[in-house]
Structure formats: structure tokens, C-alpha cells
Amino acid sequence: MLLPYYSSEHISAFDAEEHHANNAPKLIGFFTLFITVCFFIATPLGVIYSREQDFWGNVYRILTSPSKLVTDYFALGGLGSAFFNTAVCGLATNFIIIFSGIKAKATTFAGYMLVVAHGFYGLNFLNMWPTIFGVLLYCAVCKQKFSDNVHIALFSTALGPFISDFIFRYTITDTFDASHPQVTVLGIIFALCFGIAAGFVVPALLPGTTAMHRGFNMYKAGLAIGILGIFVYSFMYESLGIPAPDVIKIDNPEYYALEYGYRGFMNIFFIILFTCAIIFGFIFNRYSFRGYKELFKSVSYGVDFLDKFGMSVCLINFGIYGFCILGYLNLIFILPQIFGFLPSGIGFTGPTVGVVFAALTFSADGQQPRTVAPIALGYVLLSVAVCIICSILKAPIPWTLSTQGYINGLAFSTGLCAFSGKYGKRYGVLAGFLSAIICTSTSEMHGGFVLYNGGFTAGLTALVLLPILDFYKVKPKFEDDIK
């Protein structure tokens, strides 16, 4: 007997009841492990491709450096060492998912994706653990199942830069030398205490902040953790007069000389990954694309793609949506060459590679190309407006779409896609436009210590836009017809 959400036209690889009972968690486990294996395979290939020297020394530097936004692990370490760091973070997440006994779902997949996304900039195998242990302790004290809070534990790793700074720099600011990491007992105590405290605070904040934006920001943890980051930064640094660290930069002339970063290597990597995702989805979906048409029509609000269509269709969405992101990036990278008046941007840096995964985080829980496109158009519209205004004022154009902060901002602003799905494309464009305005300013509020700054920005955008729509009685234009 079919579940109510399914029709015979778009049932996934197996019958619906069996799928929900067993197959979706297995496919999530399989695909996340596949991504991790891809990172491990890319590690030696990256070392060879970039002629990386002192691989283990670079890994050590990644682990022992303060890593506030935006610390590029391709520059700090190297292509291969950054992939290795991401691989071990991903593998640790795989083990957490397996040994927690969780029945993996869309939020579990999202947690994994955000961990590996930031493994390229800001998160490492050392600074990810204290907040995870904090959530574990919260579960033990409050008698909660850790399996019900795995996604919260993974989201909490967004505070990793605080951990690294407390351990390696905070207590020795006067003598800090990035080339010679020092660890103090007091720094370790600060890091552990902060991790434990965060483990109790983040689960408490998430429901409230989700209610504030009413589910219109898919990166809901971004708003909660961003608010927490503001208070921690304000007290531990501003109130106590402790100077915040600068972004660690290494003399890496060969890397900085690359016009588009590791464009060739990363394009091949992503093409293989996205193609495999589509093939896996096609095979597990009984050698068909049934269900993707209905997913593509979804309004992206309150829609769990995994629950409605199955993980096989979500894998197809992951691949198709991923190719859209890849195409957008390759286009904006060459815009300064096409339009000479635009300032130069960047290419496939560590943060750029990371936010590709960040943008795919909720591909099983609401994100799809049709509703995300208006958000991207909002960024384009702001860029055009800035160019026109600067031209009138005869002022230099300060940024372009391939400026790092705007690439990162858009990746997380895709979480506002429910605005275009529910209210129509023009409101999606408006949401993207508003988010683009503030995306490079919000990190100053928490000192750059919250890795989900883009999710924080998207949350603030939703908090501004929703009351305006309510005040002027703008009604949702579309309802989800996938019932």
C-alpha cells in the first residue's frame, strides 16, 4: 500500500513504506561516504596537480592556525592538504552518523554537507570536536537522545574558529606567532568550557530563531549561531579588550598567481561528483527520472524532498542543481575579462569550493534550481545597480559577483528560495537583493568567528522582509501542490 504522499507516477526506487523504513537512511549513508571517499581520492591527486610541498606540514598548519572568516585552506596549506582535512572531517561525521544509531534524514545530510563545506575554510579536525562533545553532554544531562540531536551537533561546528583562537592565540596575544603555534592550559580550558556551553545553548536557540523567520531561511542554524557568536565575540573580545586575530595569510606566491584558483582541477572534480550523483539517483530510481518534475515544481517551503520523493530523486536534484552552481561560478569568473570596467575577482579558492557544498546543503530539503534562480538574480541586480550608481558618481566599482564575500553570501542566500516559491519570483529577487546588500557587513558583528555567516545574513534578511510583506498584506502566491 502506498503512503499518502506518493502516487504511482513518482514513487522512488522501492515501494514507499520500505523506502521510508530503510532505504533513505542507507542511501544517505552511502552517498555521504561516497563524497568522503572522493575527498580522499582527490588528496594525492591534488598534491600532484599543485606540486604541493611538505604535505604533513601543511596539514599541521591547517590544524593549528586561528581560522576566522575567511581563511583559505588552499593558501594556508595547499590543495591536497585542504582536501585531506575535509576528508577526515567528513569521515568523522560519517562515523558519528553510523555510531549514533540515527535514522538519517534530510537534516542529517545537511549537517554532513555543512561540515565538509567548511573543511575548506575555517573548520578542521581539531576545532570541530568541543562543541560536538558539548551537545553530547547536553543530551546526557537533559536526558535527550543524541540520535535526535546529531544534526545540531554538526551545525554547532560553525563555532570552530572560536575554538582554534582560544587554544592557539587568545591567551598569548602579545607573543603570538602563526608560524610557531603555542598551546596553553588556560587556552584549552577556555575552548572546552566554550564548547560545553555552546552545546547547551545552541539546541535552546534553534527553535526560537526558526520561529522568528517562520522557516523562510533554510540555514536556520545560521541565525541562531550568529546571534550566539555576537554575544561571545562582544564579551570575550570587545568587553575584555582582547584584540581579535587577523586572517592568517601565508606567503604562497604560486597560488596567488593563479588567475582562477584551481579551476581545471575543481571543474573536473565537480563534474565527476555531480555526474555520479545523477547516475546513482537514476539507478536507484528504477532507471528513471520520475519524481524530479514534481520536485522541480515544488514551492520549496516546508517541503522535505527526502520524505516526499525519496533520496534517489534528491540525488538527481543534487547533481542537476550542482551543475547549475558550477555553471554560474564559471560564468562570473570571466565577467571581469568580458567587461573591463569590473574589478577582478577570484576563482576556485578554498572558500569557493566550500560554498559549492554549502549551497547544496538542502538539496534534499527544499533547494532546487527553479526557486534558487531568483535569489541569484537579486545578487546580479544589485551588482548592476552598484555599477550604474558608481558610474554616475564617477567612483570606482568596489566589487563584482566573483568577489569572495559575494560568492559566499549567495551560496547561503539560496536558503531564502522559499520566498520565490511561495510569493513569486519577484519576491525571490527582492530577497536576494536585500541579502546581497548586507552579506559582507554581518561578519563584523561576530568578528568573523561564525562560519555560517551567510546563513546568519539570510536569517536577518528574512526577519526584515517577512514583516514588510505582512504589513502590506502580501499574500503567498503559490501553495505546494505536492500532497
Tell me what pLDDT residue 22 has: 59
Which portions of the chain are predicted below pLDDT 50?
1-21, 481-483
Amino acid symbol at 68: K
Count of structural domains, the chain: 1
Count of CA atoms in the C-beta half-sphere (13 A) of 202: 33
Residue with cell 520566498: 419
Cα 250 from Cα 252, distance rounded (Å)? 6
Cα 213 from Cα 225, distance rounded (Å)? 14
Count of CA atoms in the C-beta half-sphere (13 A) of 176: 21
Cα 212 from Cα 438, distance rounded (Å)? 19
Cα 263 from Cα 266, distance rounded (Å)? 5
Per the CB < 8 A criterion, the answer to whether 356 and 329 are in contact is: yes
Torsion of CA 303, 305, 309, 314, to 10 degrees: 160
Per the CB < 8 A criterion, the answer to whether 123 and 115 are in contact is: yes
Per the CB < 8 A criterion, the answer to whether 438 and 408 are in contact is: no
Cα 205 from Cα 223, distance rounded (Å)? 9
Residue with cell 527553479: 370
- Other beta carbons within 10 angstroms of residue 337's beta carbon come to 10
In the chain, the percentage of residues whose pLDDT exceeds 90 is 74
Angle (nearest 5°) at CA 448 between 358 and 67: 80
Would you say how long the chain is, in residues?
483
Cα 111 from Cα 218, distance rounded (Å)? 12
pLDDT digits (tens, 9 = 90+) for 98-120: 998 888 899 999 999 999 999 99
Helix 129-141 vs helix 185-213: crossing angle, to nearest 10: 70
Tell me what pLDDT residue 107 has: 92
**Domain limits at 419?**
1-483
Q: What is the 3-state secondary structure (H, E, C) of the chain?
A: CCCCCCCCCCCCCCCHHHHHHHHHHHHHHHHHHHHHHHHHHHHHHHHHHHCCCCHHHHHHHHHHCCCCCCCCHHHHCCHHHHHHHHHHHHHHHHHHHHHCCCCCCHHHHHHHHHHHHHCCCCCCCCCCHHHHHHHHHHHHHCCCCHHHCHHHHHHHHHHHHHHHHHHHCHHHHHHCCCCCCCCCHHHHHHHHHHHHHHHHHHHHHHHHHHHHHCCCCCCHHHHHHHHHHHHHHHHHHHHCCCCCCCCCCCCCHHHHCCCCECHHHHHHHHHHHHHHHHHHHHHHCCCCCCCHHHHHHCCCCCCCHHHHHCHHHHHHHHHHHHHHHHHHHHHHHHHHHHCCCCCCCCCECHHHHHHHHHHCCCCCCCCCHHHHHHHHHHHHHHHHHHHHHHHHHCCCCCCCCCCHHHHHHHHHHHHHHHHHHHHCHHHHHHHHHHHHHHCCCHHHHCCCCCCCHHHHHHHHHHHHHHHHHHHCCCCCCCCCCCC
Tell me what pLDDT residue 480 has: 61
In sequence order, what are the residues at sequence separation of 6 or more whose Cβ sits closer than 8 angstroms to the Cβ of residue 130? 163, 191, 192, 194, 195, 196, 198
pLDDT digits (tens, 9 = 90+) for 302-350: 888 998 899 999 999 999 999 999 999 999 999 998 998 999 889 999 9
Phi, psi torsion values for 397, nearest 5 degrees: -75, 120
Tell me what pLDDT residue 11 has: 41
- Other beta carbons within 10 angstroms of residue 480's beta carbon come to 15
Cα 58 from Cα 62, distance rounded (Å)? 6
Tell me what pLDDT residue 331 has: 96
